[in-house]
């Protein structure tokens, strides 16, 4: 048991560190993108030359070109990116690659005239030893009502799934629970430990009726295809025909299987009043 607890703590620490590093990288990319728009407005080609990867590409409404051509356009003022008003930003990090989507209103000076357009700009960055480099910048013309799809938050997904699980347990919805529970799942109660089949039978037969789980605190950490969720709850249950109320810390472990999260472990730890 001691080894299990230590292992769980190490996993949680690792997940927390990974999540923190990912969040830091996202904020760094957002700051770099914002600074880039300012450098483009200032025609600061020296700063941009360091930011743009030598193989970078720039996709505009009028064509696609490389780093040297983009820097020339900015320096000569063929296109002067006077002001980019950023409305929405979404970032996804994939190892050493980051993709950023900006929804912007761009005021630019083109062929002697000021023009304003709504764009969704896709920016791709890669992390090198010396820092992030811009690989691609693509302008997509969109309506002013366009919205960037919200970033999928796996922690939020797990929290919502856990909340739904408590409702299914209260409703004795064994069909939903049978689909959610992993075939090799384990359930740890004060009265013993057992597998999926026995837990389903207990819920179906009312051996334990999870009437209401009042959630006070919840946290979720996701690392790869594994998620660990901690619930601090007050559980109202009917056990052996008697209603009982207990405070628990519930540890739930989920595993991604063919794109779906499956509950692999659910453990109740009774808390002192």
pLDDT at 191: 82
> Residue 273 and residue 269: Cα distance in Å, rounded?
12
Query: In the block, which residue shows the tokens 């430990």?
Result: 193
Run of H or E residues at 117: strand 113-128
pLDDT at 134: 96
pLDDT at 176: 95
pLDDT at 47: 97
Average pLDDT, integer, range 153-160: 88
Q: Which residue has the higher pLDDT, 272 or 234?
A: 234
Q: Does the pLDDT of residue 9 top 50, yes or no?
A: no
Q: For residue 40, count other CB atoms closer than 10 A to its CB.
A: 23
pLDDT at 92: 87
Q: Does the pLDDT of residue 207 top 70, yes or no?
A: yes
Confidence of residue 153 (pLDDT cuts 50, 70, 90): confident
> Whole-prediction pTM value?
0.53
Query: In the block, which residue shows the tokens 């930003």?
Result: 89
Confidence of residue 168 (pLDDT cuts 50, 70, 90): very high
Question: 252 CB contacts (<8 Å, ≥6 apart)?
Answer: 162, 228, 229, 230, 231, 263, 265, 266, 267
pLDDT at 19: 43
pLDDT at 224: 83
Q: Taking a C-beta distance cutoff of 8 angstroms, is the pair 219, 227 a contact? A: no
Q: Does the pLDDT of residue 1 top 50, yes or no?
A: no
Percent of residues, the chain, with pLDDT higher than 70: 88
Q: Does the pLDDT of residue 6 top 70, yes or no?
A: no
Q: Does the pLDDT of residue 197 top 90, yes or no?
A: yes
pLDDT at 70: 97
pLDDT at 152: 67
Average pLDDT, integer, range 211-225: 91
pLDDT at 12: 46
Sign of the CA dihedral running 175, 178, 180, 186: positive
pLDDT at 238: 93
Average pLDDT, integer, range 39-50: 97
Averaged confidence pLDDT in the chain: 88
Residues 81-125: tens digit of each pLDDT? 999 999 889 898 888 999 999 999 999 999 889 999 999 999 999
């Amino acid at each position: 048991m001691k080894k299990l607890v230590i292992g769980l703590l190490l996993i949680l620490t690792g997940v927390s560190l990974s999540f923190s590093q990912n969040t830091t990288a996202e904020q760094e990319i957002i700051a770099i993108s914002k600074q880039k728009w300012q450098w483009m407005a200032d025609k600061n080609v020296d700063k941009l030359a360091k930011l743009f990867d030598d193989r970078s590409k720039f996709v505009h409404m009028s064509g696609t070109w490389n780093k040297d051509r983009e820097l020339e356009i900015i320096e000569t003022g063929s296109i002067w990116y006077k002001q980019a008003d950023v409305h929405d930003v979404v970032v996804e990090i994939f190892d050493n690659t980051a993709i950023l989507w900006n929804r912007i209103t761009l005021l630019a000076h083109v062929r002697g005239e000021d023009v304003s357009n709504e764009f969704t700009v896709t920016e791709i960055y890669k992390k090198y030893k010396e820092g992030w480099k811009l690989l691609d910048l693509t302008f997509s013309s969109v309506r002013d009502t366009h919205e960037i799809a919200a970033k999928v938050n796996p922690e939020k997904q797990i929290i919502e799934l856990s909340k739904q699980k408590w409702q299914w347990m209260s409703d004795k919805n064994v069909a939903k629970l049978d689909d959610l529970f992993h075939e090799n799942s384990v359930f740890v109660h004060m009265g013993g430990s057992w597998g999926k089949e026995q837990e389903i039978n207990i819920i179906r037969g009312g051996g334990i009726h999870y009437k209401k789980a009042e959630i006070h605190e919840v946290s979720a950490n996701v690392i790869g295809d594994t998620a660990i969720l901690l619930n601090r709850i007050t559980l109202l249950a009917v056990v052996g025909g008697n209603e009982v109320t207990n405070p628990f810390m519930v540890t739930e472990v989920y595993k991604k299987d063919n794109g779906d999260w499956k509950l692999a472990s659910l453990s109740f730890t009774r808390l002192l009043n």
